[in-house]
Amino acid sequence: MITTMNTTDENSRRGNGQELRFVVDFMAGRLATWLRVLGFDAVYLGRPADPEIMRIALTEDRLVLTRNRQLAGTERPRVVVLESETVAEQLAELNARFRLVHEMHPFTRCAECNAELVHAARSRARDRVPPYIFETHAEFGYCPDCDKFYWRGSHWTAMRRNITLLERRT
């Protein structure tokens, strides 16, 4: 179940070629991380009741994701009040509404800072990842902001599981 405060049709909105972007409030931090893993642009505000959330949503054209019903009284920008407490259920809520599984680009964004990852030559990863990881992975992503390498390890496996669960419910 998802509650939004106006009736804008998602399909017509998205038909304009607009990217689905989010600003996630304090209470849904794990959701922000998972949205990034799926490749969505998700800004996370780490302080409770941050007044910045509405400014960011308006100026950057982002959907607000919150568990705070009080925010839902705001007509603009659009506010999505999440019903569920668990991240898996929250993703399912969003998927039901916004068809995330058709829009996602997994492994393209930094889970820590939201920056877009760049492809890293394998040789660059050699001294930056554990030897076992280097030997067993052919591809690496790199976050220029965090100076961090990514590979499709256990996080990736967990993500694939969640995506499969989402797809079954679509």
Contact residues: Zn ion, CB under 5 A: 110, 112-113, 115, 143, 145-146
By C-beta, is 34 or 98 nearer to Zn ion?
34
By C-beta, is 101 or 115 nearer to Zn ion?
115
* Secondary structure (DSSP) of the chain: -EEESS---HHHHHTTT---EEEE-GGGHHHHHHHHHTT-EEEE--STT-THHHHHHHHTT-EEEES-GGGGG--SS-EEEE--SSHHHHHHHHHHHH-HHHH--TTSB-TTT-PBPEEE-HHHHTTTS-HHHHHH-S-EEEETTTTEEE-SSHHHHHHHHHHHHHHHH-
Q: How far is the CB of 126 from Zn ion (least distance, A)?
A: 20
Q: How far is the CB of 90 from Zn ion (least distance, A)?
A: 22
Q: What is the side-by-side order of every strand in the sheet holding 148-150?
A: 118-120, 140-143, 148-150
By C-beta, is 75 or 147 nearer to Zn ion?
147
Q: How far is the CB of 143 from Zn ion (least distance, A)?
A: 3
Q: How far is the CB of 120 from Zn ion (least distance, A)?
A: 13
Q: How far is the CB of 111 from Zn ion (least distance, A)?
A: 8
By C-beta, is 143 or 166 nearer to Zn ion?
143
By C-beta, is 2 or 115 nearer to Zn ion?
115
